[in-house]
Structure formats: C-alpha cells, structure tokens
Amino acid sequence: MITVHHLNNSRSQRVLWLLEELGLPYEIRRYQRQPDMMAPKELRAVHPLGKSPVITDNGATIAESGAIVEYIIDTYGDGRLIPPPKTPERLRYTYWLHYAEGSAMPPLLLKLLFTMMPQRAPALLRPLVKLVAGGALTGFVDPQLKQHMAFWDSELAKSDYFAGADFTAADIQMSFPLEAASSRAGLDQSYPNAQAWLARIHARPAYKRALEKGGPYEIGKA
C-alpha cells in the first residue's frame, strides 16, 4: 500500500487528491511544520532532503511532485487522468505537469521569500531589507507573476482544463501554483478563467475528501 509522508500546508496535499481521484487505498504518515515553517527533521529519515511530498510503495521511495504523479498514474492509473498517447492533449498534459514546478513555482517562492524577509530581519536592518526586498518584488518578481497569471488565464480560455476538455492529473499538479497565486500573488477576479478553474477543482468530491483526510490546508480554500 502507498504511504504518503504528508506535511501540513504543502504540495503533498496534491498527492492525497490524486489518490482520492483514482480511488486507491493509502495511508498517511503526518508531519507538522516547525515554527520556522520548515519540515521536521524526521522527514530526513524517509528521504535525505527531508522535504515533502514523498511516498513509499513496494520498497521504493519516490520524491518530487511530478515524479510521484507520473509513478502513480503509470503504476495504478489504468489510463485514467491522462490523455491518450500521441495526441495534442497528451503533449499539453506533459507540458503542464512539468511547468507547474519548473516555471510556475519559482517566482511564487521568491514572492514569499521577499515578503517575509523584512519581517524576519533585525529591527535595525529592517528598513534596508524592506527597501531591497520591495525593489526585487516590484522590479522583477511581480512582473513575472503577472505574466504567468495572464498566461494561465489565456490558456484556460481555450478549454475547461489545462490539458483540454477533460480533467487530468496535470490539473492536480497545477493546483498548487494557482492556489498559491490566489492566496498571495494577486490571482483575483481580473483573471476570470483561472478563477472559474479554481472553482471547478474545489467542487470535485475527491478534492474535498483529500482536504478532510489531509487536515488544515491554508493554501487552497474550498
């Protein structure tokens, strides 16, 4: 049976959702973030980097969200949640599956980092840190995020889901960037197609079941 090493408020929520969509049995091993928001050291006993998500299954340990999605779909999907091979939808599926972490998440992580820096700086240095962080946000990070959000919205104007007309695991993978952007990067009603997509995924019964099993999840608001 698959074991999900689940960190609260993290990307591992997507793994629970994928397993619920496929109706697969699994168990959850829970880990709580430390006060500094980092994962606890116990996760290093599962994987040397000590990050989530990680799953264990049949003696194998698989880390990285995209690799986990591919493993579960290839091993247990039976053709579900993935478009047929050699179709335009399959190409789009592969693109979004890897874009989610490769291109979408870095500017969102920079947004979080530069927003938190002034709060964590020593009092005497806080004005200077705030000035530097603010310059990085307005000069680089925020314009990048606006470009990505406009891209998502324009692509979702073409079809209800990222790979085409049907919901796929690529949508599960893309949920974290869009939910993070909605929470802290300005993905609001000025991006109507992205907002409609968020409403569609939040209404899925498997998404709701995953939230119930995963516990508090402040990134996505169903």
Give 165-178 pLDDT, tens digit per residue.
Answer: 999 999 999 999 99
Nearest-5° Cα angle at 145, 90 to 37 = 95
CA distance 65 to 55: 10
pLDDT, residue 36, reads 64
159-181 as b/e: b if 16+ CB within 10 A? eebbbbeebbbbbbbbbbbbbbb
Instruction: Specify the pTM.
Output: 0.92
Cα separation, 187 vs 54, whole angstroms: 28
Report d(CA 151, CA 136) in Å as an integer: 22
CA diameter of the chain: 59
Say how many Å lie between the first and final Cα of the chain, rounded: 28
pLDDT per residue, tens digit, the chain (222 aa), is 999 998 877 788 999 999 999 999 999 998 877 666 677 788 888 988 888 899 999 999 999 999 999 999 999 999 999 999 999 999 999 999 999 999 999 999 999 999 989 988 998 999 999 999 999 999 999 999 999 999 999 999 999 999 999 999 999 999 999 999 999 999 999 999 999 999 999 999 999 999 999 887 766 443
CB–CB of 219/176 below 8 Å? yes
